[in-house]
A and B are shown apart, each in its own frame.
Chain A
């Protein structure tokens, strides 16, 4: 006897959404993957090489593309999931433009938004030419050219940690987890590209929480001569030579420090996605004090939304790296299947 395969809708086509869709499709479920942007891939589309091993991001992208290319998956792009509602027959999903979809279960994988560096005005993003974000730096790596706005080669670059994270002034008290190690990774890449360029990381705490992260940190010092200064940069300005000047306290030396830089890179953090928050509001999902989606249980129910047939996957619940995002997506799939079989 052949039964009609159950239908799962995945909201958001980033790492989490693609992995979840792929895993479900492989098990024979019918999947609709709805992505707001032009293509699935999420933030991963912007990265050049990945920590901790600096493998090309393309390798992971092609893995995910293959996974989401399964014939059981129907990908709808340029479409936003606006609301989901459980009813006795399943879950009704309202998409942008007013179209409705009927599904047996929904996985929410709406991801994160990058912190908008303009909001930290004192760092001068958008005001001074050579203030860029870690994302802009990835774009430079992708282009294979690392230069100042006027086309000259930088001789000193500073990486500023915790921009938009751990900062009550921008209403974000949480740690974004990935930016410390991203800074170390990027510092190494800069040193490899421009061996004569000095690199400084300005950090409050080095949060090397993942496997091989601490080793990467060590390597950056041992092999690549990256400098680390413990202190939060308070502000930046430009001097008459049009060079950036930052103010920071070298808290380990116990004295304020001023330094000229050619390029200042802001390690922007992760925030709850705006489109995810709208979906949450419309659908009655709980949001935590960090505004990310709050799951049913922090320890053993991390994929549960509290609404029947709706599950969470990836960074819509908290900042995480790709490894954890993929694991989290697979766990969401396990919960979904358990629900559908019950």
Chain B
């Protein structure tokens, strides 16, 4: 069961504009992740994690894009995607910025679940 505001949040997806409306974007997920995994801020979008990603071989999961979307407050496209990581840790060994990638995914999944339940 989704609360009215929660439904609203995702309801926008139907006629969302092509433009990222940064001013009305939702920063809660970003803030939740940064507070729990500060290294999230370090990502410089090199794509190394995505290139090596085990899950990414089988599905459209893309950690680099996920990081970018979260920063822009674009959560809707991630709801499905964030469930696909296997926590294998390859990305961790590749990331040149020392982002604790696995925990970013884990915390992001947690945050999105909370957002849906309107607990954020």
Contacts and interface: CB of A to CB of B under 8 A. Distances in A.
A249 interface: yes
B120 interface: no
B93 A251 contact: no
Interface string B49-68: 11111001100001011000
Nearest to A257: B51
Nearest to B62: A254
A55 B86 CA distance: 52
B65 A234 contact: no
B47 to A, nearest CB: 3
A249 B64 contact: yes
B93 A232 contact: no
Nearest to B48: A232
A230 to B, nearest CB: 8
B47 A232 contact: yes
Nearest to A254: B65
A41 interface: no
Contacts of B47: 230-232, 248-251, 256
Q: How large is the interface on B (under 10, 10 to 19, 20 to 34, 35 or more residues)?
A: 20 to 34
A297 to B, nearest CB: 29
B96 A166 contact: yes
A318 interface: no
A230 B50 CA distance: 13
B62 A255 contact: yes
A247 B48 CA distance: 9
A256 B53 contact: yes
Contacts of B97: 168
Contact of B48 (A234, A250, A254): A234
Nearest to A231: B47
A301 to B, nearest CB: 31
A249 B64 CA distance: 9
B51 A169 contact: no
Interface in A226-269: 230-235, 247-251, 254-257
B65 A233 contact: no
A232 B46 CA distance: 5
Between B47, B48, B53, the greatest number of chain A beta carbons within 10 A of the residue's beta carbon is seen for: B47
B65 A232 contact: no
Contacts of A162: 96
B50 A256 contact: yes
B94 interface: yes
Contacts, number: 62
A250 B65 CA distance: 11
A247 B44 contact: no
A249 B96 contact: no
A324 interface: no
B62 A232 contact: no
Nearest to A252: B47
A166 to B, nearest CB: 6
B78 interface: no
Contacts of B62: 249, 254-256
Contacts of A169: 93-96, 98
B45 interface: yes
Interface in A164-191: 166-169
Interface string A199-211: 0000010000000
A62 to B, nearest CB: 39
Contacts of A247: 51-52
B98 A234 contact: no
Interface in A9-49: none
Interface in B16-54: 44-53
A249 B47 CA distance: 5
Given A168-B98, A234-B94, A256 B56 contact: yes
Contacts of A168: 96-98
Contacts of B94: 122, 169, 232, 234-235
Interface of A: 122, 162, 166-169, 204, 230-235, 247-251, 254-257
